[in-house]
Structure 1
């Protein structure tokens, strides 16, 4: 996916094609950019450039500063050689990025006017890989290159294996960190440095003995094992490429064709080479071929990768002419990029950079660049701000003004920072301010990108249907594969649960008023009564043919569609198709691809960017599946692909290169900005502690101490002066990215602990201006609409001004996109808070003729706060089920099993039942799960003690659902609920028990009018349990308590709360130790309702009147502290409307 950062490319149709069946190693590529156009005519050159172009006969070092026409010179040098009769295939051009290699190839091909049968310019890695594949060792297959994530995963696996095998004998201090990601990263960095500086395992072991580093000795042995592992698999990693390629070119026989082929080698960005690459170049040109290296010692910023400026400074001595004299040195002296003010600021910074080892005249010419257009306008600013927020706000305003007032395209501006950690926060702030950003290097691992993650989840569930969880089913149905919405999913869950409740032999009872879309997991092993709607939906996806007849087909369409697709792909996988073909079947199985292609080609804004990101992820996933098939053959399998991708901790380097958004400001680090340029550049965060970053770069394994063998193998410790020089070179690179305008910002806070601007700011040679007073009106649509609205309603404005503001608002409100969608919704009065009258629903909350449904929980909620009741019960805006609710459902279900005699009243038996379901409960941490598991066992122990205690009562039932019809104020009412346990005492009175699994108890004064218990007593009084009392099967009339008169309603004798998580004496003695012995639970009793009308009757009447009059008002109280609607509640400041 390629695009030029310096030109806006028109939108092009998106095409994603499938490879021909049987083709080896298919590659998918999504390309939306138009090909670059380069002139085919000779370029105008200055004297220094002509001297480089005409150079023949030996090595040449060209000092090429930023914007000095280095690329043009290189292209012309190649073209002149071709025009003189030299074959293009005998000229090798090497550079350090694929973007640069692609641009060089295009420019050279356009300039010489002839096509070439292969790449003209290469990266070092790509050229080395091509040679190793073209000239393999006799009998060996062509090597396969590991991606970065694949290499890291393999290293972690080998480290884990080495620990178990006791090899390579890690030092004791390292044993504790072998399994950590950080240690694997340290090992990866050290092994890469070993190859970069030209060492091997044997030389590393010698260095270990000399430096007395037992960790290096262990790593040398581990490196041998790692290389053996690569060799067994026919694989190579990037650090190994240069080493193997150098050995190949040096080989007297195998390397002879390569050395004979190239008569001239051109190297771009030579200051970024490492010793291994220098060795390769020496081997390539050992036969007398020309070597022309372009470099800039002031832009040597990759010391952390092994590149050191010393390599460029040593070039004349290392690469000598035929007469053994040092290589020639030339300097390009005209800057064609930077405006004079920007060039002058860059010269100020460059003058402070230390360089030694080059001819004085060459260094002077290199540093004293002259502008190509002395009269060209430009600007350099240095600004300081009191805070990071003020700094970012000013940057956003500056970028918008450049775009709107100076017509600078978004893609011609960039914001650079010292470190990547600052980028996400800056991106969020700029986006919020209306500045489109392209954040470089922020891609997550492939398996975490939404589109790829979705296809991998579907692939796993198709290959292994037993792995389908409720969470998988929900995510698949709500994804583009299913196309469902949350409301439809809730409706489907309710329909499935209603059918299950009514089906014979089913016991699927939810808690009173519950309508949970979240389930603990699989229903296997759950006690009766705990199968949730989420589990029923999961079961339907697993078996789409099991759709019950009463459930509407349209409601179940997404579940049936996804289930059928998974079943189809599963059958194909079992028939032997590759993961690649299975992914293609999933991709093509819905309307998702067409929708993405349509939005990508014709959409706009965030929707288009999201569609393009999804297409990119799908392309990368297909490419990864193809690589897996190439590596493992047909036996790799779907699970192998999934394991491979989910084990990767960071994004692979995309083969096609990262796409650049053509309509956004680039946001990247100074390191990543090297080689790029923009009209406007903002360098952010140039304050002490951030830039320069002078912290010593010490690693656990001493990677930074390794050096090339010819330099002794060990590098002297880095000094603060070295760090300063590196940081100043990095700042110089950032400064020289700007063509016309450069803005450097820093935080200079007030106070002893505040940040201070860096002295780098002063090195620009311009006045530092305080940005504390930067308060211009933001040039954003929301700001414009707000200003116009204020003017339109301002009584102090003239009528003409108010009318003009209204006309402009109307114009903005009428602006639409190509699909006739309004672009400025906030300009329309329908969108203004307080501008419209309050509305009244045409449909009453309670239908006049239908019974009003009430329950104990709804009565309690209506009494405490009728507005909260409405939002939870009618608007269905409540919070989803929590693990505490799942805990309570499990304990209640097991208590019911004991009461009903389905499970013995034995703690061991209950413990075993608890083990069956506990692993399916979702907790945020394992320690929390363990803690709650202990609490559940203690709660069941207390229940058994309470259950066995003699209370002079007989059990009538448990988990008893009821529904009774009442008439209140002339309105029918349906009172419903579920009683945890019903008991009959010796006097024939009915007692209701409600088990509580919460940690707190109600106060003694509240128990007298506890709504839940009062509701149960009212239900008993109104006949909810009459059938249980009159039909109870008793051994004899003498021992069986009966109601006072046969045929009369049961008499409530009271109700009680039994707290299974609290001891009977806990209020006095405090809670017991977790896991300790338990006693009887705490019990709170409510007296029997008095004869006639009681407080609960009054409460029911109040509730009915509240519902029928729809007087839902907030009632502040203790529950407000835990209410999920507080932020929208008019009783509190944060919930009041802005406009009243």
Structure 2
């Protein structure tokens, strides 16, 4: 074994107290009273909190006697790790949590022991609000909002308003008082009272109500004394993120005698949208005996970055702002502002800059790309970087679980299984997705196979899954994939109807298809997207397991709603996660606790950052705040946006690269004003970067040189040597097209051989085209004319089956027509006029047709032997009629040109229909028929009064031309030799670019 194959264990970072500067040491020294430590980015505020904890332990306290509060669960986890690293060991009782976590623990430990507290998460609270809204009288809300009051959006906005009320310490009466003459907010106050009453009845609290009740609890002397005896100090990191009820709780703890240490930077306040109060720091500074400490020595941002941040700080001027930090020691660093031609060019250049950074000595994990918003914006950026060979790590809390493709696929299947009738329109995406695995061509075949149901409904497809005649009309792979998924959905739906757990239903859907193995193989092969899909699905299964109380159909729908509303955090509680290996792609809010050598911030344009088109909802939480007019003003909104941009820029240690796409007619928003505030001259970069700097692109270039006869022998030899040394899988010669062995040993026919009229016609016309389109999966998308033909067949079928007259046929056409999409509107209008004429002809013909109709869209199947090979003739006839004692097949056509006499004489489809009828395929429908009549093509587009009807001669007794055609087709299938035959059909062929008959000797 070589040394390259050995694993090496790396020692962890040494523990111990770090060296603090004088200001940090003073701030971290234990003392009584309230201390507020202000500092800009990189001044060591979190280090002060961690060091203060360690110092208190050194002087006799313990972790379980210290309350350490952070702004979020992930921040609490990070701070806990810092404390344990400085402490030099593990501690079971490390109480590092959020304000809400501390409040819940306090209520359970010191509150009413008879009260069974239950904390409502946001989805549960919304569901409770919707239940209450449904039970209200119709005149509860003002007339102008009554219709909106039943919507999910109204319930979400109402939840946000009620939460803000408790964050501000407001009671229902106070809400009504603030509302004044506004009837809507007066009704909110009344609803608030009802909501609290119901919550008191069953002990359910939301987060804001929990902290409010904790403040009330602390007013009891016995509880205050117990808190003083239990805890030695309260330490709060990122105090600028406290909402009003939270900072007042901290003030309450100070008033009962607990020492309080708070670190904050008001210019980095990001949580204003969820209630983080601008008054938090000033309120804490006004507490009796409060002291202010300032940290001004910077340890993060180098000189150029510090200068850029100072430009932003000047625009963020606040009375209680911390002192500007000094620059960190080391090189000057760099700040750039770049304008690109468009977003695509911008993303390509960012990828090139990231690769350049690695070439200059950075590691991927030392780089970050920060965006204004998460969701789809972040997803698109991460996907584009991945496509350009950049390994990315997207934080789960930034890329919400519900927007990830793999999760959407599995949840879509769960929704369909739970409510198939309501989700019928979503079956196509499931069949096309990773669970179904069908191609667009295969899906169209499936739709045609169930056309006799009139609509592509769930019930029709369920019948198709259990009907071998319908599924056998498809190719084998189509039938297997479609039937497997349809039966799986039906089975899981039955399990949910019987009350099965949601977690079990999800696992059944996942394990019941080949998708897990495909993902596994792709991940083992190094496909990063497969690894990301598996990570997302693991999180989904973890969440479903933790929601064990969700069962049955209602539980499944509730779980889906929770994921889709993105209320379930991406953080699944795994604290000891592996170090990131790629470039971090995340939002400004999630970037706050991180530091990287180089930070890239794209898409900094007006309208995006800052967001200029802000529109409040029907219910605005800021309406209840004392400063709501300022918060809702343009200045207040821009200030919030500037703070988030400041936080994003402050993550850069050495280099900061900000970029934007220049304005154009399609994208009128110019680069943001924030770019100018950085104080550097923007540079213009036009065009795309040279080449695709990815391993795949390098291998492709080398392969191109090796195979190019115009390249010199020396160059081709050098490229071949480089390929031979490359570890990339695409560089292996055995993987190249034309070199690999055939994927199968040879062609094998089915037993019996299934032949339809259309497949016979396709094999005889051009075996190569038939094989590539029907067996190779390369069938070209059906054009609009083929879709129009399907519409005509459907209407004609319904007319014959349901007895529709012309007016009802035209009504049906009006219902269906809007679903068709024509490239040019005038073409659609012309086509509809011609179709109306065709239906008028059909109606006249149908009403005066002398034959007795036996059926429409009739399936048939009959066996025979051709050249010693068992053959199964199978298909569907448009119309079967009885004329006296003769069976007659009528095939409806909407082609632009009728068949020629020569084509009609040996028309394969009509010949197959005749032969099938002669062999008894329709005997059960008309036992009195003794002869076969002339089959015909009914050309609905042609004819004056009635449609043109083209008749084929009846087959003679014994052997005929149709037997010759069948023998020729069987011989082709037996040999597996699918030659290309040139004909007039070639002009419509999808494969002529690689056809040896049309382009002999051409390069494939």
> TM-score, normalised on structure 1?
0.69
1:955-985 residue CA offsets vs partner (Å, 9 max, x unmatched): 78884858698999x9999977554555566
Pick the aligned partner of 1:828 from 725, 728, 733: 733
- Equivalent residue runs for 1:790-829 within 5 Å: 790-792=704-706, 799-812=713-726, 815=727, 823-826=728-731, 828=733
Judging changes above 3 Å, is the alpha-carbon distance between structure 1 residues 794 and 515 closer, same or farther for their aligned structure 2 residues?
Answer: same
Pick the aligned partner of 1:386 from 341, 346, 351: 341
SS in structure 1 of the partner of residue 338 of structure 2: strand
Per the alignment, residue 339 of structure 1 pairs with 302
1:347-372 residue CA offsets vs partner (Å, 9 max, x unmatched): 232233212257xxxx5xx21x2234
Pick the aligned partner of 1:410 from 364, 383, 386: 364
Pick the aligned partner of 1:610 from 525, 533, 538: 533
- Equivalent residue runs for 1:504-653 within 5 Å: 533-536=464-467, 605-625=528-548, 628=549, 637-648=551-562, 649-651=564-566, 652-653=568-569
Q: d(CA) in 2 for partners of 1:889 and 1:1104?
A: 31
Per the alignment, residue 761 of structure 2 pairs with 859
Per the alignment, residue 193 of structure 1 pairs with 164
1:60-100 residue CA offsets vs partner (Å, 9 max, x unmatched): 22112111122222222222222223444443221102222
Per the alignment, residue 604 of structure 2 pairs with 686
Per the alignment, residue 118 of structure 2 pairs with 144
SS in structure 2 of the partner of residue 50 of structure 1: helix
Per the alignment, residue 173 of structure 2 pairs with 202
Q: d(CA) in 2 for partners of 1:436 and 1:654?
A: 20
CA contact (8 A) 2:303 2:333 kept: yes
Pick the aligned partner of 2:620 from 695, 698, 702: 702
Report whether the alignment pairs 1:241 with 2:138.
Answer: no
Judging changes above 3 Å, is the alpha-carbon distance between structure 1 residues 971 and 55 closer, same or farther for their aligned structure 2 residues?
Answer: closer
Per the alignment, residue 830 of structure 2 pairs with none
Per the alignment, residue 213 of structure 1 pairs with 182
Q: d(CA) in 2 for partners of 1:66 and 1:521?
A: 59
Report whether the alignment pairs 1:656 with 2:572.
Answer: yes
CA contact (8 A) 1:446 1:621 kept: no
Judging changes above 3 Å, is the alpha-carbon distance between structure 1 residues 746 and 954 closer, same or farther for their aligned structure 2 residues?
Answer: closer
SS in structure 1 of the partner of residue 466 of structure 2: helix
CA contact (8 A) 1:416 1:684 kept: yes
Q: d(CA) in 2 for partners of 1:39 and 1:783?
A: 42
Per the alignment, residue 288 of structure 2 pairs with 320
How far off its partner does 1:517 sit? 14
Judging changes above 3 Å, is the alpha-carbon distance between structure 1 residues 252 and 1131 closer, same or farther for their aligned structure 2 residues?
Answer: farther
Q: d(CA) in 2 for partners of 1:99 and 1:1030?
A: 74
Q: d(CA) in 2 for partners of 1:890 and 1:606?
A: 42
Q: d(CA) in 2 for partners of 1:66 and 1:474?
A: 47
Pick the aligned partner of 1:434 from 385, 389, 394: 389
How far off its partner does 1:1018 sit? 4.9
How far off its partner does 1:152 sit? 2.8
1:760-795 residue CA offsets vs partner (Å, 9 max, x unmatched): 223223332222267344432133224333544566
Report whether the alignment pairs 1:227 with 2:196.
Answer: yes
Between stretches 417-426 and 428-437, larger displacement belongs to: 417-426
- Equivalent residue runs for 1:489-500 within 5 Å: none
Per the alignment, residue 251 of structure 1 pairs with 220
Per the alignment, residue 1085 of structure 1 pairs with 949
Q: d(CA) in 1 for partners of 2:401 and 2:652?
A: 32
Pick the aligned partner of 1:68 from 32, 38, 43: 43
- Equivalent residue runs for 1:709-1108 within 5 Å: 711=626, 715-716=629-630, 718-749=632-663, 754-772=668-686, 775-792=689-706, 799-812=713-726, 815=727, 823-826=728-731, 828=733, 831=736, 853=755, 855=757, 858-859=760-761, 863=765, 868-875=769-776, 877-878=778-779, 949=848, 951=850, 959=858, 961=860, 979-981=877-879, 991-995=888-892, 1000=894, 1002-1003=896-897, 1005-1006=898-899, 1011=904, 1014-1015=907-908, 1018=911, 1024-1025=917-918, 1052=934, 1055-1057=936-938, 1083-1087=947-951, 1089=953, 1104=968, 1108=972
How far off its partner does 1:295 sit? 0.7
Q: d(CA) in 2 for partners of 1:1024 and 1:107?
A: 83
1:313-359 residue CA offsets vs partner (Å, 9 max, x unmatched): 34322x121xxxxx22111121112223222322232233212257x
How far off its partner does 1:285 sit? 1.1
SS in structure 2 of the partner of residue 646 of structure 1: helix
Per the alignment, residue 22 of structure 2 pairs with 47
Q: d(CA) in 2 for partners of 1:429 and 1:620?
A: 29
How far off its partner does 1:276 sit? 0.6
Q: d(CA) in 1 for partners of 2:969 and 2:483?
A: 41
Q: d(CA) in 2 for partners of 1:281 and 1:1030?
A: 89
SS in structure 2 of the partner of residue 106 of structure 1: helix
The alignment of Structure 1 onto Structure 2 pairs a total of residues equal to: 954
CA contact (8 A) 2:311 2:679 kept: yes
Between stretches 849-858 and 780-789, larger displacement belongs to: 849-858
SS in structure 1 of the partner of residue 68 of structure 2: strand
How far off its partner does 1:399 sit? 0.9
CA contact (8 A) 1:855 1:977 kept: yes
Judging changes above 3 Å, is the alpha-carbon distance between structure 1 residues 60 and 1102 closer, same or farther for their aligned structure 2 residues?
Answer: same
Pick the aligned partner of 1:311 from 277, 280, 283: 280
Judging changes above 3 Å, is the alpha-carbon distance between structure 1 residues 443 and 155 closer, same or farther for their aligned structure 2 residues?
Answer: farther
1:221-273 residue CA offsets vs partner (Å, 9 max, x unmatched): 22222233333342222222221222222333444422443342211111111
Structure 2: stretches of 5+ with no match in the other structure? 1-5, 821-834
Q: d(CA) in 2 for partners of 1:846 and 1:453?
A: 35
Q: d(CA) in 2 for partners of 1:426 and 1:559?
A: 37
How far off its partner does 1:699 sit? 3.3
Between stretches 85-94 and 850-859, larger displacement belongs to: 850-859
How far off its partner does 1:738 sit? 0.8
CA contact (8 A) 1:204 1:216 kept: yes
Judging changes above 3 Å, is the alpha-carbon distance between structure 1 residues 153 and 1136 closer, same or farther for their aligned structure 2 residues?
Answer: farther
Judging changes above 3 Å, is the alpha-carbon distance between structure 1 residues 1127 and 144 closer, same or farther for their aligned structure 2 residues?
Answer: farther
How far off its partner does 1:645 sit? 0.7
Per the alignment, residue 259 of structure 2 pairs with 290
Per the alignment, residue 350 of structure 1 pairs with 313
SS in structure 2 of the partner of residue 662 of structure 1: coil
Per the alignment, residue 824 of structure 2 pairs with none
Between stretches 1098-1107 and 82-91, larger displacement belongs to: 1098-1107
SS in structure 1 of the partner of residue 315 of structure 2: coil
SS in structure 2 of the partner of residue 1112 of structure 1: coil
CA contact (8 A) 1:402 1:408 kept: yes
1:94-115 residue CA offsets vs partner (Å, 9 max, x unmatched): 1102222123223334434576
Pick the aligned partner of 2:127 from 125, 150, 153: 153
Judging changes above 3 Å, is the alpha-carbon distance between structure 1 residues 1032 and 430 closer, same or farther for their aligned structure 2 residues?
Answer: closer
How far off its partner does 1:752 sit? 10
Rg comparison, structure with higher value = 1
Between stretches 729-738 and 1109-1118, larger displacement belongs to: 1109-1118
SS in structure 2 of the partner of residue 289 of structure 1: coil
SS in structure 2 of the partner of residue 1057 of structure 1: strand
Q: d(CA) in 2 for partners of 1:351 and 1:731?
A: 14
Q: d(CA) in 1 for partners of 2:221 and 2:394?
A: 48
How far off its partner does 1:486 sit? 6.8
Judging changes above 3 Å, is the alpha-carbon distance between structure 1 residues 282 and 717 closer, same or farther for their aligned structure 2 residues?
Answer: closer
How far off its partner does 1:729 sit? 2.1
Q: d(CA) in 1 for partners of 2:283 and 2:54?
A: 29
- Equivalent residue runs for 1:79-158 within 5 Å: 79-112=54-87, 116-137=91-112, 139-141=114-116, 143-158=117-132
CA contact (8 A) 1:856 1:1012 kept: no
SS in structure 2 of the partner of residue 63 of structure 1: strand
Report whether the alignment pairs 1:370 with 2:326.
Answer: yes
CA RMSD of aligned residues (A): 5.9
Judging changes above 3 Å, is the alpha-carbon distance between structure 1 residues 924 and 60 closer, same or farther for their aligned structure 2 residues?
Answer: farther
